[in-house]
Amino acid sequence: MIDYIFLTGLFGALILVVGAAWPEGKDLKRPMKSVKNWLFAIGAVTMLIYALLNYYFTGGAVFFAFLQGFIVIASVMMMLNLSDKVDIPIISLTGIGFVIWSLTLFEGYTTIIFILGLVGISLGYTLQMGTLKRSTALMLGGALIAIFSYIEANWIFFWLNVFFAVFSGYYVMRMVLLKGYK
């Protein structure tokens, strides 16, 4: 029998990996015209559906639903092209709230790894396109979520974030080596 929950996650993960690998477009001032951003947004919504189905029907970690909900919010902020002065405080304060909440749920200190990764990816989504800080935040956030996913044995989120971190790291290295970063 086909596992539709798994296929939903696989499909969403593939969209996000393609988004991470996709080069930044030439028009960095209009995020809604960016194929990369649309892949991020569509992938985030698909992964939110997967995370909710996985939580409700198979007992998966609720933190993955938090992650994807937070990423969907960050995607909306990214597409609206809000100033970094607006979205960084919103994402940071929400992330701090998640850290505090995770400690009250206390499923272990590994949850803090997850929350820090969540904040990193969310900041990466909302920061200005084509910048070193955006790619670095996406790389570090993806790596932390991959570590948490490994601990939780959620292989869709693990491999998604491994590839996400690797592709984001590629763009970090490329910007640093070419010294064409902002």
CA separation for the pair 66, 157 (Å, rounded): 13
What's the whole-number mean pLDDT along residues 65-91?
83
Residue 81 pLDDT level (bands cut at 50, 70, 90)? confident
Residue 76 pLDDT level (bands cut at 50, 70, 90)? confident
CA separation for the pair 30, 40 (Å, rounded): 15
Indicate the pTM of the whole model: 0.78
Residue 27, pLDDT > 90, answer no
Letter string b/e over residues 109-128, b meaning 16 or more CB atoms within 10 A of that residue's CB:
eebebbbbbbbbbbbbbbbe
Residue 10 pLDDT level (bands cut at 50, 70, 90)? very high
Q: How many CB atoms lie within 10 A of CB 79?
A: 18
